[in-house]
């Protein structure tokens, strides 16, 4: 009798465990082959609530996110491409894992431990050259090695060799994307080096929460958990100061439509052609809320949390319709926004900024969490 009772108890426990276990599914497919013959995989992550995310070995890119709106209708939220061939033309860094150094470095130069380093100057806002997003062939343009983390997500690994794009040190990098049934998609970047280097690995997805990528995001309502921002010069390089947002169009401490003040006569907006700046997040420990965006039409909400000190908000000012993406859509002016958590831009040249230096024996880590809902 005792054995029968134990068996029934164990069976009941097993059924309850199955009932509450994660319904996360991960599917692995061949995506295509690069021009130099490297095969590329794509992975599809699906949770029990119908959130679907796709990630690919090319660029460790988040290539698609589909979520339900307030009526339960699923829609695509990200700018990007339908095929690997499309992603090979990606000059806007749609969805990419960006590195070694996300954002800008003044003049493509920095000094470390008394040695000068020269990087490619692949961007010139205001006619002033700088290094942007890792160089001519950054992390977004290489093939990573993907591996399924059973029931959780995908891990990508890459070895950035000493001297790649001008950066010192052999850098071992791992990036993971995991999805849970709380509708949280987590991106985590980790790295180690065998020589001193500078590092700022960034996730660079472009979002339009309406699901209609022909429409402007200026009606999206944004909150940034930041009291200050980094003013820049005409080349969009931070001056080294932190200015308060209070009383300016840079103040998103209260939820505000993105387009409400974007055309105001304000120096920062003039230089950036709109919003394209780093906001300094309120101080806190660990992973904390950095931004919240809501599309009033679909009711979709995106919350972004991070353990980094800043977030770059970019309002799609340089989208011009030349990039044709998913379903052949020409991505027009301000049809997407990016919110990139990060260290401070140009930190290697600004001693007053939080250090971007990584040394042997140290561990770099950057966590970014996207939480989806509808209301």
The catalytic residue positions are 204, 340
Task: Find the helix or strand (DSSP H, E) in which 124 lies.
Answer: none
| Euclidean distance between CA atoms 246 and 233, whole angstroms | 20
Cα gap 67→50, rounded to integer Å: 7
Contacts of 163 (CB under 8 A, 6+ apart): none
d(CA 255, CA 294): 9
Give the position of tokens 């992973």: 287
Q: How far apart are CA 53 and CA 299, in angstroms?
A: 19
The tokens describing 168, both together, are 């010192």
Residue 12 has phi, psi (to 5 degrees) of -60, -40
**CA 136 and chain centroid, separation:** 19
How long, in residues, is the chain? 375
Query: What whole-number distance in Å separates Cα of residue 15 and Cα of residue 22?
Result: 13
Tokens found for residue 142: 């290489």
Q: Is 358 exposed, middle or buried (0-12, 13-18, 19+ CB in 10 A)?
A: buried
């Amino acid at each position: 009798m005792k054995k029968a009772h134990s068996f029934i108890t164990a069976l009941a426990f097993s059924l309850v465990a199955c009932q509450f276990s994660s319904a996360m599914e991960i599917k692995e497919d061949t995506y295509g082959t690069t021009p130099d013959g490297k095969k590329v995989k794509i992975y599809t992550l699906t949770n029990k609530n119908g959130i679907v995310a796709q990630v690919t070995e090319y660029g460790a890119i988040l290539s698609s996110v589909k979520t339900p709106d307030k009526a339960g209708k699923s829609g695509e939220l990200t700018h990007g491409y339908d095929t690997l061939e499309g992603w090979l033309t990606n000059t806007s860094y749609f969805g990419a894992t960006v590195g070694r150094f996300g954002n800008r470095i003044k003049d493509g130069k920095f000094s470390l431990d008394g040695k000068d380093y020269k990087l490619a100057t692949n961007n010139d806002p205001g006619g002033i050259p700088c290094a942007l997003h890792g160089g001519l062939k950054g992390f977004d343009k290489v093939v990573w090695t993907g591996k399924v983390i059973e029931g959780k997500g995908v891990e990508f690994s890459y070895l950035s060799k000493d001297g790649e794009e001008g950066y010192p040190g052999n850098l071992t990098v791992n990036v993971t994307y995991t999805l849970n049934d709380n509708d949280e998609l987590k991106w985590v970047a980790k790295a180690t080096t065998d020589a001193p280097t500078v590092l700022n690995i960034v996730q660079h997805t472009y979002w339009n929460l309406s699901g209609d990528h022909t429409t402007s995001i200026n009606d999206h309502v944004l909150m940034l958990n930041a009291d200050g921002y980094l003013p820049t010069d005409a080349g969009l390089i931070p001056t080294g100061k932190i200015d308060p947002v209070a009383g300016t169009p840079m103040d998103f401490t209260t939820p505000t439509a993105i387009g409400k003040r974007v055309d105001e006569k304000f120096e920062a907006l003039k230089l950036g052609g709109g919003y394209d700046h780093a906001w300094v997040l309120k101080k806190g420990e660990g992973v904390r809320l950095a931004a919240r965006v809501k599309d009033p039409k679909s009711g979709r909400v995106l919350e972004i949390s991070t353990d980094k000190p800043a977030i770059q908000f970019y309002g799609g000012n340089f989208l011009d319709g030349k990039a044709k993406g998913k379903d052949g859509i020409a991505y027009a002016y301000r049809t997407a926004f990016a919110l990139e958590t990060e260290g401070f831009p140009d930190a290697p040249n600004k001693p007053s900024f939080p250090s971007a230096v990584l040394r042997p024996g140290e561990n770099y880590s950057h966590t970014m969490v996207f939480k989806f809902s509808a209301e």
